[in-house]
Amino acid sequence: MLLDRLHRISIKESLKALFESPPAESVLSAFNVYSEEDMRNANKGSFTPTAPFIFITDARIAPTLAQLPFIAIDATVNKAPFQLGDRRGRRVSADLHIFGRSRGERDDLGSFIADYLKIISVKNYNEYEFMGFASEAEMCKGEMVDEPALAPMSIGDEESLEGSLDNWLILSFGYQAAY
């Protein structure tokens, strides 16, 4: 896989690590973090998550009430020089679509991420060496360049009947990386 996809996966893995081992000062307990495949299996009734849990995907999947809380990642990667004479840099803009079971849960999850996600560890998630980096090696750290912005979203009456989209928040941030 190429560099731009590695950024999206690195955001997902950085979020996963944050939820699985939250900083002590956050007073949050560790979450069981589940993937897109787990979410699809839950939709089929062949998987039941263990609380406390959160589903994190980089795909647009409509959650059901039973699958909340849920975070979907949208990332836009642009080429941007990181330093003079080096054209390999990337500027990443990310939107995290956060869905909670309540406004409080949604707001708490968004605030937690905004307060504690400060660096994205960009890794080689290929099964082979890529750009001189071994598989699973950290290629660089993405430094935040935009302060996180939290925006509660609203939906129409028809969409709100099912209930899973009622408590939706978008957390936007950006970072600059050497690769």
Rounded distance, CA 22 to CA 27, Å? 8
pLDDT given for residue 3 in this prediction: 84
- At 157, the pLDDT band (50, 70, 90 cuts) reads low
Q: How many structural domains comprise the chain?
A: 1
pLDDT given for residue 164 in this prediction: 61
Q: Which of 56, 59, 52, 51 is nearest to 75 (CA)?
A: 59
Asked whether the predicted pLDDT for residue 20 surpasses 90, the reply is yes
The one-letter code for the residue type at 120 is: I
- Reported as a single tens digit per residue, the pLDDT across 24-82 is 999 999 999 999 999 999 988 899 999 999 999 998 787 888 889 999 999 999 887 76
Kindly report the backbone phi and psi dihedral angles of residue 169, in degrees, each rounded to the nearest multiple of 5, phi listed first: -135, 140
Residue 103: enclosing H or E segment and its boundaries? helix 103-116
**Does 175 or 2 have the greater pLDDT score?**
175
- Reported as a single tens digit per residue, the pLDDT across 86-141 is 667 899 999 999 999 999 999 999 999 999 999 999 999 999 999 999 999 999 99
pLDDT given for residue 84 in this prediction: 61
pLDDT given for residue 86 in this prediction: 64
Residue with tokens 């699985």: 20
Rounded distance, CA 120 to CA 69, Å? 22
pLDDT given for residue 156 in this prediction: 58
pLDDT given for residue 63 in this prediction: 80
pLDDT given for residue 99 in this prediction: 93
Order of strands across the sheet that contains 53-57? 32-34, 53-57, 70-79, 90-99, 168-177, 138-153, 119-123
Q: What range does the domain containing 108 cover?
A: 3-177
pLDDT given for residue 88 in this prediction: 74
Pairing between β-strand 138-153 and β-strand 53-57 as defined by DSSP bridges: unpaired
CATH code, domain carrying 15: 3.30.2000
Prediction pTM value? 0.88
